[in-house]
Amino acid sequence: MRRFLDKTVVIKYGGSAMSTAESRAFAVDAVLLKYIGLRPVIVHGGGPQIGATLERLGKQSTFVDGLRVTDDETMEVVEMVLGGKVNREIVSLVQAGGGRAVGLTGSDGNMLRVTQRLEPDRDLGRVGRVVRVDPAPIVAVASAGFVPVIAPIGVDERGVTHNVNADEAAGAIAAALVAEKLILLTDVEGVKDAEGSLIPVLSAEEARKHIALGAIRGGMIPKVECCIGALEAGVASAHIIDGRIEHALLLEIFTDRGVGTLITR
């Protein structure tokens, strides 16, 4: 465990991986990582919670290639749910597990600088693409002994907030921090081959080949590409793991069998 002392681990958590029991176990794992000497940084999603809130308000959710079309009204809900409800819930769970956490959004301190994501013939609204990360707010919080919990809300040069894909935000933050590990918790086993079998270990080059051949497809493609980008930026390893498994974080980091796919340079 000494080799992990003072190493940063960026963990993307949320969305489909979240449930009450799993959230408590995840929070305990994050606290334990902190006690061991790592520096966990949590980046969370919250798509299902945003969708449920919009439904209660009578507003339909629209998606393009997995990205939520975000008009001004939807952005208000995104900021309320991600920056308020979900962020506070995760902070509270970490603190209930014996840790200390501070909630942030990517717009705090202009941490996540974005430009509007433009797609041909498709208007996504206020959906952002990360162009720069200022790690200073994260480093300040972590250096003070707290676990940073970050909502993926970015801000452009005009100060306008944008909805950012949580995987993309986590990868960009891991790259900016030159983290030891980027870990994406999902609701699937990990990366699978064309026959549907789990791939325990995958190099970035092999991952690209699997994508080109169509073995890796659908929603797994942006997750794998996010991991490859982080590795190219200096992150030591990236993991896509099954967040439904209790204590998945600890099993992946500290055991030989792991609970998902390890992607290496």
Going along the chain from its start, the domains and CATH numbers come out as 2-264 (3.40.1160.10)
Query: Using a CB cutoff of 8 Å and minimum separation of 24, what contacts does 63-68 make?
Result: 64/119, 64/122, 64/124, 65/119, 66/165, 66/219, 66/222, 67/117, 67/124, 67/127, 67/165, 68/127, 68/163
Sheet holding 128-133, edge to edge: 128-133, 112-116, 153-155, 161-163
Please confirm, yes or no, whether 15 is among the known catalytic residues.
yes
Determine which one of 103, 108, 171, 223 is catalytic.
223
The one catalytic residue in 14, 15, 128, 171 is 15
Q: Is 12 noted as a catalytic residue in this protein?
A: yes
Catalytic: which of 12, 29, 156, 181?
A: 12
**Contact (Cβ atoms closer than 8 angstroms) between residue 105 and residue 151:** yes
Tokens, residue 37: 């000497």
- Is the torsion defined by CA of 231, 234, 237, 240 positive or negative? negative
Query: Contact, 224 vs 231, CB < 8 A?
Result: no
Q: What is the pLDDT along the chain (265 residues), one digit of tens a residue?
A: 667 788 999 999 976 556 567 788 899 999 999 999 999 999 999 999 999 999 999 999 999 888 899 999 999 999 999 999 999 999 999 999 999 999 999 999 999 999 999 988 789 999 999 999 999 999 999 999 999 999 999 999 999 999 999 999 999 999 999 999 999 999 899 999 989 999 999 999 999 999 999 999 888 998 999 999 999 999 999 999 998 888 999 999 988 778 999 999 9
